[in-house]
A and B are shown apart, each in its own frame.
Chain A
Amino acid sequence: MQQRNDPARAGRLPPRRSLASRLMDLALRPEASVVVVAIVLVVYFEATANNFLTDANLQTLSQFVAAPVILACGEIMLLICREIDLSVGQVFALAPFIMEKAYNVGIPVPGAIVAALFVCALVGLVIGLITVHLNVPSFITTLGMFFLITGITLTISRGFPADTPNAGVLNNILGGWGYAEFLWALGLVALMHIVLRHTRWGLHTIATGGNAIAAAEAGINIDRIKIGNFIITSTLGGFCGILEAFRIGSTDPLAGGSNIMFLGVASGVIGGTAIAGGAGTIIGGLVGGIVLGILQDGFTLQGINAFMFDIIIGAAILLAMIANIQMARWRGMRPQ
């Protein structure tokens, strides 16, 4: 008992590690290999397509990157707790129409956005409840939701695009200005990174995916964690769709969809999030999204045709995953 109050012990810290060891740790972080890939790609495209690092192109790039990164923030949380949301691209398309409907019945734009996000959160809640309480794998729950929401969006829009409401300066903040959507993406990445690394919610999400029994035995309500992360993902998806609607000025009932959803998942996975759950990084998702964006943008600048592009993206995802898994194996083999 007396030992507890020993002042010498209270201040004890782990021994300082050498700079080389710290650098080695940094180099072996799951995000590190992707950062290297991103830098190599920037150098390559700047050298081969000399208009890569121009303001106009960076703006294009940022717009391509923003949506997958925002969706990745949610998908990463879900992947960490061993779930996935295939319907987030559908919520992405639905949200602007809810906003438009709300606006048309006289609710001002901020209220209309809140209403749309509320509906998205509700979709996440339903997905979560079905998955957790009826034991339907989220892959299936959200596959069903995928078609269901597509149908709802097409029904309420009658299949026609809609103009985004005009709310003056708010339009610029929400995506009108060239880099607005990317700045939102960066802000959400920062927020979700803090949630994952520095809050109980994030820690419990990792514990839920890493060892659900252990988490439950420690008193963590894993159902609540999963449902919460479904709500976060759907809400982020809806918000992203709204940002996109403000950037483009109109919204299409077939916007988003599986393409944007898979880009979001791919961003997370390329960035080092384990498909098997229990580990992941939001920053990695940002870098993963940037890599995908650079590939698309760079090859477009080089004039590679659209069919070729999917081959390259597919190969890039495979290569990134192989590198990722090899890195993880390396880290595991390192002596302590």
Chain B
Amino acid sequence: MTDARTHAHQMHGKEALRAEGIVKRFGSVEALSGVGMHVAAGEMLGILGDNGAGKSTLLKILTGYHQPDAGTIHVNGAQQVLGSVDQARSRGIECVYQDLALVNGLSIYHNMFLNRELLRPGPFRLLNHRAMRERAMEALADIGVNIPNVNLEVGRLSGGQRQAIAVARAVHSDARILLLDEPLAAMGAREAGQIIALIERLKARGDIAIVMIAHNYAQTLEVCDRVMLMQHGTVTYESRAAETSPAELLEIVRREYREMRGG
């Protein structure tokens, strides 16, 4: 296992995303105080931390949803300002959010093309439902997700299926930097297993950099190549997944709790 990981690490492509010295304040609260991260194509980075550690804020900065008060972001080696979700997306950064970002009342294919709809030629800019249906089926088959009918409303799917749709949507839209917000939360073992398998398939392609935010140390160490621990808006620990353990990470967090209790 360890050998395989090390080997995989050596195969990582060039750096896809790098953030340095990211600071973000909300009013008087400093949510991030100088956070850095980096991830390469074919690599998977896990970001761990408690609620309020700043994981989600960092994620939202990387997707262009929030703008940092200080710090720089490099995408594929070039410094970029991610001023909006659209801008980040046009640089190949896509996030699959915790709340799934799917609309229950819409069909699978409408969800997969939400705000990127295919239009029929002509002056009226009408939706090309047929093309979207076909492309949605292709995209799902492409990453090995088996869903018989893309006309189904998303609200009628299971949590795992919806997560798969959300991931498929991101990859299909040419995202090469994939940010996953708690992709395994609130999921049974079997469904989590399917999503992990899907993530491994994406990683094996070698052209996608994946950043995953999670609570579960064991799961994260299992699927990621590298992990970093966030506490109070800073990165307090970083390691290759093969070189640490849930116990070690837990000990760091425990130490912090003890310090806080000790005052």
Chain A residues with a Cβ under 8 A of chain B: 1, 3-4, 9-15, 194, 197-200, 203-204, 206-207, 209-211, 213-215, 217-220, 278-279, 332, 336
Contacts and interface: CB of A to CB of B under 8 A. Distances in A.
Nearest to A221: B115
Contacts of A1: 205
Contacts of A213: 97, 99, 101
Contact of A12 (B104, B138, B151): B138
Nearest to A207: B103
Interface of B: 65, 84-86, 89, 95, 97, 99-106, 110, 114-115, 117, 119, 124-127, 129, 133-134, 137-138, 141-142, 148-152, 156, 205
A82 to B, nearest CB: 12
Specify the main secondary structure of chain A where it touches its partner: helix
A199 B138 contact: no
A108 B143 CA distance: 62
B200 to A, nearest CB: 17
B132 to A, nearest CB: 10
Nearest to A200: B117
B105 A210 contact: yes
B152 A336 contact: yes
A17 B60 CA distance: 43
Contacts of B137: 12-14
B49 to A, nearest CB: 21
Nearest to A11: B134
Given A206-B106, A207-B106, 19 more contacts: A4-B138, A10-B138, A13-B133, A198-B127, A199-B125, A200-B125, A203-B110, A210-B105, A211-B101, A211-B102, A211-B104, A214-B100, A214-B103, A215-B115, A217-B85, A218-B115, A219-B85, A336-B152, A336-B156
B134 A210 contact: no
B117 to A, nearest CB: 5
Given A14-B150, A14-B151, A203 B99 contact: no
Contacts of A204: 115
A9 B129 CA distance: 18
A14 B95 contact: no
29 contacts: A4-B138, A10-B134, A12-B134, A12-B138, A12-B141, A13-B133, A14-B137, A14-B149, A14-B150, A15-B149, A194-B126, A198-B126, A199-B125, A200-B119, A200-B125, A203-B106, A203-B110, A204-B115, A210-B103, A213-B99, A214-B97, A214-B103, A214-B114, A217-B97, A217-B101, A219-B84, A278-B104, A278-B105, A336-B149
